[in-house]
Amino acid sequence: MARFGRVVSVLLWLLVGVGCAITQLESESFVDPAAPPRTFHRILAMAKISEYTNRVQAEQAFVERLTRGSTQVLTSASLMLPDKKYTEAEINALIRQHQIDAVLLITMTAEYQQQIQTAGSPSCTTALASANAALLESRECSIDNFIHRPTVEFHFRFYDVATNQTVWEAASVTQGTNLSGFPTLIRSLADTTAQRMLRENVVQ
């Protein structure tokens, strides 16, 4: 899947209030448009995030946005112990035990602060020097105004347990304002991703 640009216009950020975030998402659906719609009743949201608290927040955000009608979404944090390393066989056993028919893998691939230069007032310094008994004035001005945007990148894979086939895949970049914490970033991410999955009929 082609990567897409990370840089978001500074002017766009000026339209966003303090503590907000914007998500750009590129997705690819593998659903056969000619096939009957597939309804998933029990979806497992499984986030691969090293920080446990962030993992729980991410999974819960998708539970809140994808649970609807006959579709129930479970978090891996509610089924798996945080300090235990699970084998693939153990995970498959849990999937069968809880009658999971689809899995949404949510993998954080990068987390960083993006530095963006903005327009600002010039900062000037004046220096005096003596040359041939005359005072010479040297003045230097520069504009050095930067803001830092908390940024997270994610990769998504949604697959059908019955066929073990990937149904939908996506990559995203979420960027916040300088006061945005992880909960703000993850809400933007979950909103954008869930809306795209519903619009593309990946989930009903």
Query: Taking the domains of the chain in order of start, what are their residue ranges?
Result: 39-115+150-199
- pLDDT per residue as tens, the chain (204 positions): 544 444 344 334 333 444 688 999 998 888 777 666 788 999 999 999 999 999 999 999 999 999 998 899 999 999 999 889 999 999 999 999 999 999 999 999 999 988 777 666 555 655 555 555 555 555 565 556 777 789 999 999 999 999 999 999 999 999 988 778 999 999 999 999 999 999 988 998
Q: Strand 102-117 and strand 72-75: pairing?
A: unpaired
pLDDT of residue 116: 74
Q: Please give the order of strands across the beta sheet that includes 102-117.
A: 21-29, 165-176, 146-160, 102-117, 42-48, 72-75
pLDDT of residue 12: 41
Class (C level, CATH) for 39-115+150-199: alpha beta
